[in-house]
Amino acid sequence: MSAGASTYRSYTVKDAVTVKKGELLTIQTSDGKLDLTAATEVCHLIALDESSRDADNELVTAGATVTAIPVGGVCYVAATGSESWTAGDELFVGASGLATATAGSNKKLGIYLGPAVTTVANDLYEVNTNGAEQI
């Protein structure tokens, strides 16, 4: 499957983790399952939807899957709230799978492409992830 120049597919999510659209994900080296990024971690993928649901429409917390796309293009990503962003700002991988303008020791995610905004937690914003730090 592909969307533009990037390939997306279904991944297994770490138990006890639920994922929302646009959240930043890292691949665990121990078992290959996905987890939400923590501050200072590398972002490998961005969720295209929420993680799977059961027959009662509840989010699955064990053995869930999510469709995600690798970083390396323009993606809509979930943001940390109450930050001021303007076009061209560098963004970083933050805690809880959210993008942040706070650099510190956080890994680079990409460049914000939208208009000047004060972010709302978990809302989606357009980011060019071609420069995402992978080490």
Q: For tokens 């799978």, what's the residue?
A: 97
Residue 41 identity: E
**DSSP code of residue 51:** P
Locate 10 and state its tokens.
């279904």
Taking the C-alpha atoms of residue 90 and residue 101, their distance in angstroms, rounded to an integer, is: 7
pLDDT, average across residues 73-84: 96
Within the chain, residue ranges assigned H as helices are none
Residue 1 pLDDT level (bands cut at 50, 70, 90): very low
Q: What is the pLDDT of residues 88-124, one digit of tens each?
A: 999 999 999 999 999 989 999 999 999 999 999 999 9
- pLDDT at res. 49: 95
Tell whether pTM > 0.95: no
Strand, coil or helix: what is 96?
A: helix
Q: Please, what is the average pLDDT of the chain? A: 93
- The helix/strand/coil state of 111 is strand
Question: Across the strands, what pairs with 46?
Answer: 24, 69
Residue 6 has pLDDT above 70, yes or no: no
